Structure 1
Amino acid sequence: MLVRYFAAACAAAGVEEEHHDLPEGTALDGLIAAILAVDRRIEGSTGNSSLAMVIGRSSFLRNEVALRDHGAKLSTGDVVDVLPPFAGG
Structure 2
Amino acid sequence: MTAVPDQVDTVAVQVRYFAGARAAAGVPEETVRLATPVTVSDVIAAVLDLHDEGLAKVLPACSFLLDGVAVRDRRAEVPAEATLDVLPPFAGG
Q: TM-score, normalised by structure 1?
A: 0.85
Q: Show CA shifts across 1:31-87 (max 9, x none).
A: 11100111x3xxxxxxx2120111110000011110121111101210000000000
1:36 to 45, 48, 51: 48
Point out where structure 2 has 5 or more consecutive residues left out of the alignment: 1-12
Aligned residues: 81
What is the letter of the counterpart of residue 82 of structure 2? D
Rg larger for: 2
Query: Do residues 18 (structure 1) and 30 (structure 2) align?
Result: yes
Alpha-carbon distance in structure 1 between the residues aligned to 2:48 and 2:88: 15
Query: Do residues 72 (structure 1) and 76 (structure 2) align?
Result: yes
Aligned to 1:45: none
Point out where structure 1 has 5 or more consecutive residues left out of the alignment: 41-47
Moved beyond 6 Å, runs of 4+: none
Higher relative contact order (CA 8 A, sep 6+): 1
Q: TM-score, normalised by structure 2?
A: 0.82
